[in-house]
Amino acid sequence: MSQTGKQGVAGGLYNRIAQPYLGLLRHRGSALRQEELDASHGTILYLEDITVSFDGFRALDALTLYVDVGELRCIIGPNGAGKTTMMDVITGKTRPDAGSAWFGQNIDLLALDEPRIAQAGIGRKFQRPTVFENHSVFENLELSMAGDKSPWKLLTAKLSGEQRDEIGHTLELVGLLERSSARAGSLSHGQKQWLEIGMLLMQRPRLLLVDEPVAGMTPQETERTAELLLSLAGERSVVVVEHDMDFVRSIARIVTVLHEGRVLAEGTIDQVQADPKVVEVYLGE
Amino acid sequence: MNLVQTRAAIPGRLLFGGDVGHRVFYGVLLALAVLVPLLNLAVPEGSALHLSTYTVTLMGKYLSYALLAIAVDLVWGYCGILSLGHTAFFALGGYAMGMYLMRQIGARGVYADPLLPDFMVFLNWKELPWYWHGFNHFALAMPLVVLAPGLLALVFGWFAFRSRVTGVYLSIITQALTYALLLAFFRNEMGFGGNNGLTDFKELLGFDLHHDATRVGLFLATVAALALGYAACRTITASRFGRVVLAIRDAESRTRFIGYRVESYKLWLFVFSAVLAGVAGALYVPQVGIINPSEFAPINSIEVVIWVAVGGRNTLYGAALGAVLVNFAKTWFTAAMPEVWLYALGLLFIVVTVFLPQGIVGFLRQRLGAAS
Amino acid sequence: MKPCVGRIANAGRMAGSPVLKIMLLLLLSLSCFFNAHADAGAASDSDTVLPTDYPGLLAALPQADFSTRQQIVARLVELKPPHGRELLAAWLDNKLQSRQSDGKLFLVETQDDVLSLTDPLTLQAAGTGKSEDFEQVRNNNALRKTLKVAIAEYDLADPAPRVRIAAVKQMRRDLDEDTVAALRQHLIVEKDRGVQHQVEVALALGDLSDADAAKRLAAVKALEGETAPDVYNALLPLARDTSADPDTAVRTAALAAVQHIETWRGFYEALETLFFGLSLGSVLVLASIGLAITFGVMGVINMAHGELMMLGAYTAYVMQLLLPHNTGAAVLLAIPAAFAVSGLAGIAIERSVVRFLYGRPLETLLATFGVSLVLQQLVRSVFSPLNRSVASPSWMSGLWQINDLFSLTCNRVYILGFSLLVFALLRLVLNRTSLGLKVRAVAQNRGMAKAMGVRTERIDALTFGLGSGIAGVAGVALSQLTNVGPNLGQSYIIDTFMVVVFGGVGSLWGTLISGMGLGVVNKLLEPYAGAVMAKILVLLFLILFIQRKPRGLFPQKGRAAEGM
């Protein structure tokens, strides 16, 4: 990791200093920035020795986790295991007390804030579906579109034909084509979840973080969501935090179990469920 | 709240949500621009149709308040930033205009000093402070109308939005900001006339301020500024920038996580709103003939917010309507029964926030929505 | 002199209108003044005719001119008759009057034009009289000074050392041969070490003007370590002015003594600034602590908080109207009354307005601002827009003299103590009572509290009432410092919100520390920047601070804090 680390420092500097100016020169900034992401070693996310404490309570305790390019990873763990805190660290909401977090080999996540991280290609879905309730479904996707997001550009921005097509395509993918002009606030719970996933897709992320996507969904909706997530992996990496073990079983290839801010076990769902440590943690709970 | 909007969304839009409300607004402004000069200047004074210059000035004052209200609605109604310090920007614009008007007095002041305004002679000052230089030129003074509030908003907003001060906390520090300015402008040492402020203006661009035609001219300038400011706000809110701003109001962290630099959006919106408020202040001062530190009083800023709330936030024209209605009521009450005014204003605050959160426009939309 | 007094009395009877009366009095007293000076020369010839016994002196007093009165006082001090002190004290207080019919003297207490009389010879009550039948035995500045010294000489014989010390201090303000002699005499009999010391200081002060340089030097040495202002004033010319004393050794010693005093003065001035700061801070804490409840615990932006304080202050005013003769009881009773009035007003506000607006802090801000306007206008209608003053009880006024250089104003000390008491009680209520437990439970997790059977609506109303009641109590304290008026509350609203936010919303300790801290910082800045600039600087500091740390000094964790 020391080698990638050095590259990373240079990459971090580049991100902080050069990239904004390059972004000004090339209008399709964030799309280009994604191409600049270097994940040539096959790993898209490196979390190493991440520690976060709140008032002496260690939410994350030297957590180390790697996610591969194109992988669909499920993360499970009892309440308070640090799943949401981990997502907060990756997306820039929480700064860790110690450790390092890299996106590919070249982007130091700890040096960036939330919008930069989002523009670099990490999308996040919240536990509670969060969409823009007073905008139409179409507008929600329009706002999430990858591209230059500077205030001055957007004063005069117009949608191109290509962009309309892309929105239409995403609407179709998340099954909301007929509801395109409806107010997002009027959607059902499940539809909001899908709309939010659609919004993430519009960002053209390389890594998707999805927090409890099927909470409160009907079985049919859950099934559709599983299909959707499976279809997304491969082209992108997807990390899913979920409690619903059946759902995890239906989509996961590798499962990571978090406990008290650390990785307790990692492997296929069967391996993990057979692990005595995991059994103890879950039964103990 | 959301229920109201969904219910009203479809039929209400035909009348108020769509372009009709806006067209009515432009229409009223146009009618005022044509009728007021006619009724004041062309109709002879004895006639029942004659509009007194006093009324023209009063209407001009209301319209400058309407511009201020639109500025507040832009940040509050659209972005959720409840600024309780917007009269600070209004007053700064007013002071910039006041300083120009003060220099125009020249040697006609009580002390007949060709260079120093009266209050400086009174304070025994020998020289014009450096920041008063250049204010004798209209072309140099007017940029300050925009720059002074704009820069204050830029610096304040840059600190506030970058460190993510939101909601109530932001309201409280905007209030503290205007309070600090109030205290500062009260000091004679600041060189802005202290307690008494700036007054006794004589002329603007060579036109006598006490002349009827000048008054009508100022009224027309206010109408024009209101129309332009309104159009600018419309353009902003209808653009994708405007949709991002609404998104920030409704789900700030979601906006951030899809890659928007929320603080930049808030900052530029806030600065633009402050500039509008400054322009409104600059139009207000020559019409009322005085600017003093009490314009900074935090209570004024809160009153502006209630104008917006009464008219209906998040509509722009509702804010203008609220400003005119409340101020008309204020003029009427303070003349007819002054002791009742604060009761009325206080109850207005309570009734509107508790029962009419969408204001008059929202109420009408709901009514029309229910009727059809 | 007698004709002059008679003239005043006649003029008083003749003149109908009060204004005319006052003008006549002024004119006549002026003429008396000049007469007194004219008489002074003549009277000095006739001092031999003064009687030598106490009753005789008393009889001579009403007719005597001012210089003769001086001699009468001197004679009284020599004689030291029993009850002579009471006579002198009454005279000094303008409570010595002579009956016009027979010129007999009485010590009087006036109430509603009726005088209760006391015989100065026996101190027995001597019935009552009408004020128009009596004439005050007047005194002037010189006479007042003489009277004070005379009383002090009486007090030297007092059994309480405290009284004797005060007497010595009084006497040394005006040292002359007689007083020095009296003090020297007293030193022989004095047993108390403290009193002895004060007498020695007085004698040393007297020696400073001695012709003998060695004696002066010894006097300066004896005064070393003393910090009293009169010692300082006596030493300062010796130290500063080279011509004041021909002897170098005396000058050097005086300079050292003066510098010593100045060091202590600096120290006590700093201490005084700290006290003023804490005093301002205690007012801020009192005003903010109720807000810390409504804003911090409930998340309600109560803009009417200042007006609830105003209601409390008006309660103190009304209480004083009800108990005009007992200001002490009025103030003490006003505290629970104000708590009840403002608390009930708070509950009414909560039930009628605020409860519709939970979870929408910005709306509570606007609605309660409306409430504040209504309340302001209400007191304007009921009590008039003019400011009213609430008198302080005697035990709250005056100075608390800690030593020669340091004294504290009593009302500020009381209010400082009171604010700490209120703080402690509030913490006790929140931490030790079942109401407090429920309040905290609702603040932390409303849904869970409700599920556990807490009647959250009732708790909301009570919490709001508690915060409002404390605002009322704060208003009583404010009524002791400033005038009571409809705008009383408005001037505090920004300060109080800043205190609560700076301290950390939801943290009572934070409110205490931030209120005290801001008070002290404000007072520390004042000498350099002036009062207004100090305030502006503090406000700017707070604006910047809140932007750095929006959660304040002592941030609260948890969902309640996140919501805003």
Chain C: residue nearest B301 by CA? C366
Higher pLDDT, C182 or A247: A247
Does any domain span residue C148? no
Cα separation, C363 vs B357, whole angstroms:
9
pLDDT of residue C346: 94
Chain B: residue nearest C302 by CA? B168
Portion of chain A with pLDDT greater than 90, in percent: 7
Within this chain, do residues C357 and C502 fall inside the same structural domain, yes or no? yes
- Assign B16 a pLDDT band (cuts: 50, 70, 90): very low
Cα separation, B340 vs B350, whole angstroms:
16
Q: Cβ of A132 under 8 Å from any chain B Cβ?
A: yes
Average the pLDDT over each of A130-134, B21-25, B308-312, C223-227 and give the range with the smallest value: C223-227
Question: Once rounded to an integer, what is the mean pLDDT over residues B6-30?
Answer: 63
**Position A232 pLDDT exceeds 50:** yes
Q: Cβ of A222 under 8 Å from any chain B Cβ?
A: no
pLDDT of residue B118: 85
Within this chain, do residues C360 and C324 fall inside the same structural domain, yes or no? yes
pLDDT of residue C22: 57
**Which of B73, B81, B83, B172 to mutate: most C Cβ within 10 Å?**
B172
Does any domain span residue C424? yes
Within this chain, do residues C342 and C402 fall inside the same structural domain, yes or no? yes
Dihedrals phi, psi of C373, to nearest 5 degrees: -65, -45
| C neighbours by CB contacts (3+ pairs under 8 Å) | B
Domains identified in chain C, total number = 3
Mean pLDDT for chain A overall: 80
Tokens of B63: 């319209």
Q: List residues of chain B with CB under 8 Å from any CB of chain A.
A: 2, 5-6, 9, 235-236, 239-241, 243-244, 246-247, 250-251, 253-262, 264-265, 268
Within this chain, do residues C399 and C544 fall inside the same structural domain, yes or no? yes
pLDDT of residue C548: 80
Give the 3-state secondary structure of B241-298.
Answer: HHHHHHHHHHCHHHHHHCCCCHHHHHHHHHHHHHHHHHHHHHHHHHHHCEECHHHHCH
DSSP, collapsed to helix, strand or coil, labels residue C14 as helix
Tokens of C91: 């005279």
Inter-chain Cβ pairs, chain A and chain B, closer than 8 A = 88
Cα separation, B171 vs B166, whole angstroms:
8
Within this chain, do residues C434 and C293 fall inside the same structural domain, yes or no? yes
Within this chain, do residues C489 and C359 fall inside the same structural domain, yes or no? yes
pLDDT of residue B148: 94
pLDDT of residue C27: 53
Nearest-by-Cβ selection for B159 from C356, C366, C544: C544
Cα separation, A144 vs A167, whole angstroms:
10
ipTM of the modeled complex: 0.86
B251 and A124 in contact by Cβ < 8 A?
no
Closest of B17, B55, B77, B26 to residue B228, by C-alpha: B26
B6 and A186 in contact by Cβ < 8 A?
yes
pLDDT of residue B185: 93
Within this chain, do residues C167 and C283 fall inside the same structural domain, yes or no? no
Question: Once rounded to an integer, what is the mean pLDDT over residues B118-138?
Answer: 87
Tokens of B6: 């969904």
B250 and A118 in contact by Cβ < 8 A?
no
B169 and C372 in contact by Cβ < 8 A?
no
Within this chain, do residues C278 and C227 fall inside the same structural domain, yes or no? no
**Range(s) of the domain holding residue C192:** 156-246
Closest of B77, B79, B80 to residue B308, by C-alpha: B77
**Range(s) of the domain holding residue B88:** 2-371
pLDDT of residue C167: 78
Nearest-by-Cβ selection for A203 from B239, B243, B259: B259
C542 and B305 in contact by Cβ < 8 A?
no
Higher pLDDT, C258 or B240: B240
What single letter denotes the amino acid at residue A199?
A: M
What's the CATH number where C347 sits? 1.10.3470
Q: Cβ of C369 under 8 Å from any chain B Cβ?
A: yes
- What pLDDT, in 10s, does the model give residues A135-165? 999 999 998 888 888 888 888 888 888 888 9
Inter-chain Cβ pairs, chain B and chain C, closer than 8 A = 117
Domains identified in chain B, total number = 1
- Assign B69 a pLDDT band (cuts: 50, 70, 90): very high
Q: Cβ of C546 under 8 Å from any chain B Cβ?
A: yes
DSSP, collapsed to helix, strand or coil, labels residue A255 as strand
- Assign B320 a pLDDT band (cuts: 50, 70, 90): very high
CATH superfamily, region A2-284:
P-loop containing nucleotide triphosphate hydrolases (3.40.50.300)
Q: List residues of chain B with CB under 8 Å from any CB of chain C.
A: 82, 156, 159-160, 162-165, 167-169, 171-173, 175-177, 179-180, 183-184, 186-187, 298-299, 302, 305-306, 309, 339, 342-343, 345-350, 352-354, 357
A118 and B236 in contact by Cβ < 8 A?
no
Nearby residues of C488 by Cβ (< 8 Å), 6 or more positions away? C306, C309, C310, C313, C475, C478, C482
pLDDT of residue C29: 52
C381 and B342 in contact by Cβ < 8 A?
no
Provide the total of helices (H) and of strands (E) in chain B, helices listed first: 15, 4
The domain locations on chain A are: 2-284
pLDDT of residue A28: 38
Nearest-by-Cβ selection for B343 from C377, C501, C544: C377
pLDDT of residue C244: 66
Mean pLDDT for chain B overall: 87
Alpha-carbon distance B341 to nearest alpha carbon in chain C (angstroms): 9
Cα separation, A104 vs A96, whole angstroms:
19
Within this chain, do residues C500 and C543 fall inside the same structural domain, yes or no? yes
User: From the CA atom positions of chain C, what is the Rg in Å?
Assistant: 32
pLDDT of residue B7: 37
Report residues of chain C scoring pLDDT below 50.
1-16, 31-47, 558-564
- What pLDDT, in 10s, does the model give residues B146-184? 999 999 999 999 988 888 888 888 888 899 999 999 999
Higher pLDDT, C222 or B236: B236
B265 and A155 in contact by Cβ < 8 A?
no
**Which of C373, C376, C378, C492 to mutate: most B Cβ within 10 Å?**
C373
Within this chain, do residues C223 and C314 fall inside the same structural domain, yes or no? no
Nearby residues of B10 by Cβ (< 8 Å), 6 or more positions away? B369
